[in-house]
Amino acid sequence: MIGKPSRIELRAAPHVRRPVGVEKIMLHVVLALLPIAAFSVWQYGLSALALMATVTLACLLTERAVNRLSGTASTLSDWSATITGLLLALTLPPSFPLWMGAVAGIAAIALGKALFGGLGHNVFNPALVGRAFVQAAFPVSITTWVPAYAPGRFTSFIPTTFTLPLMTPPDISAWAKAAVDGFTGATPMARWKFENVLAAPSDFLTGAVTASAGETSALLILVCGLYLAARKFMDWRIPVAVLGAAALTAWAFHLFGPQRYPDPFFVLLSGGLMLGAVFMATDMATSPVTPKGVWIYGGLIGVVTVMIRYFGGLTEGSCTPS
């Protein structure tokens, strides 16, 4: 090696690292969301697919635009914007007009994430900021539900999907009634709250209920969450705390008023609680870092969700649809 200058690498200890980086964790969350997304497409067809693609694309483009503005390298490869897009799309009704979905995606990344300084600095889950934004902006569209398993869902779109930007979407109650006989347009939570009708647990497990795209199969969400927890890409304590506290609170109410309050099983399976507990509450940047803090945080989410459902104006109470 004469004449060739040798260069020794110098680094401070530790010299080895766990082979798990941010991008790997995020990629696995994306992978865990894919089966849920696929199931949603199976239930609602082309419109659900188009909505998911639109929202995610809006998130990615906004993230890239923010990178350009701030002169930093692209952060798309950390997969976090993809997660925001997919999660956000899963909390929206499948009939949600695409342009509104794009607004939600842009709001999620721009207001929920970039404004605070990007990944790790956000104080709210960006997907929920996006949802809250369109909740306030488009209160009708975000509560317009369509039936699952409508015939012809893979050949035609729901009429509202291609509403022109800034236009009011057409009324689809006639379309929905025609598509599925006896469709009421109410979510199981709303039916329980306003009509005192309880959906059968089996309907939740198979997704035969009316709801936003990604909250209809509690079982599938649970399985995907178990995968993440088993691979240690997610803190298992959070969903356990959220679901446990929600079940305990609901059980206490059910004990005192079995007629007025549903059983804990219904509470766990309905609404966005499962999606919220497994994928929303576990957002790393906005959840506590110490195990003790995580238990308190998860427990409060569970209790508050049930309280809002029972006593608040919003039917679902969880961080997903109202």
Partner 1 sequence: MSLLSIFRRKTFARGVHPASNKSTAGTPLRRLPFAPRMILPLAQHIGKPAVPIVAVGQEVVRGQLIARAEGFLSVPIHAPVDGVVEAIELRPSARGPWTESIVIRTYEASTQEVRWGTPRDMDALSAQEIIQAVQDSGMVGLGGAAFPSHAKLTVPKGRKIHTLVVNGCECEPYLTCDHRVMLERTDDLMLGIRYAMRAVGAEKAVIGIEDNKPDAVEAVRAALPADGSIAVAAVETKYPQGAEKMLIKSALGLEVPAGGLPSEVGVVVNNVGTLALLGRLLPLGQGLTERAVTLTGPGIKRPGDYWVPIGTPLRHVLEWAGAEDVSEREIILGGPMMGQAIASLDVPITKGVSGILVFDRRAVKAESDRSSYACIKCGECVQACPMGLNPSMLGLLAGSSEYELMGSRYHLGDCFECGCCTYVCPSNIPLVQQFRAAKSVLRQRAEIAKAKIEIHESGERFDFGHAEGEERKTGGRRHPVPETKG
CB atoms within 10 A of CB 57: 15
Report the C-alpha gap between 298 and 305 in whole angstroms. Answer: 11
Q: Is 290 in the site for partner 1 (CB under 8 A)?
A: yes
Site for partner 1 in 61-90 (CB under 8 A): 77-78
For the chain, the distance separating the N- and C-terminal CA atoms, rounded to the nearest angstrom, is 71
Given candidates 21, 139, 258, 312, which one binds partner 1 under the rule CB under 8 A? 21
Q: How far is the CB of 158 from partner 1 (least distance, A)?
A: 36
Kind and range of the H or E run holding 245 = helix 237-256
Q: How far is the CB of 29 from partner 1 (least distance, A)?
A: 12
Burial 102-120 (b: 16+ CB within 10 A, else e): bbbbbbbbbbbbbebebbe
Given candidates 2, 3, 17, 256, which one binds partner 1 under the rule CB under 8 A? 17
Q: Is 285 in the site for partner 1 (CB under 8 A)?
A: yes
Q: Is 179 in the site for partner 1 (CB under 8 A)?
A: no
Give the range of 20-28, 158-166, 176-184, 221-229 binding partner 1 by CB under 8 A: 20-28
Task: Output 63 or 235, the one with its CB closest to partner 1.
Answer: 235
Given candidates 53, 203, 288, 314, which one binds partner 1 under the rule CB under 8 A? 288
SS3 labels along 14-61: CCCCCCCCHHHHHHHHHHHHHHHHHHHHHHHCHHHHHHHHHHHHHHHH
Site for partner 1 in 223-282 (CB under 8 A): 235
Closest of 253, 244, 263 to residue 311, by C-alpha = 253
Total number of residues that touch partner 1 (CB under 8 A): 38
Residues of this chain that bind partner 1 (CB under 8 A):
1, 4, 6-18, 20-25, 77-78, 117-121, 235, 284-291, 294
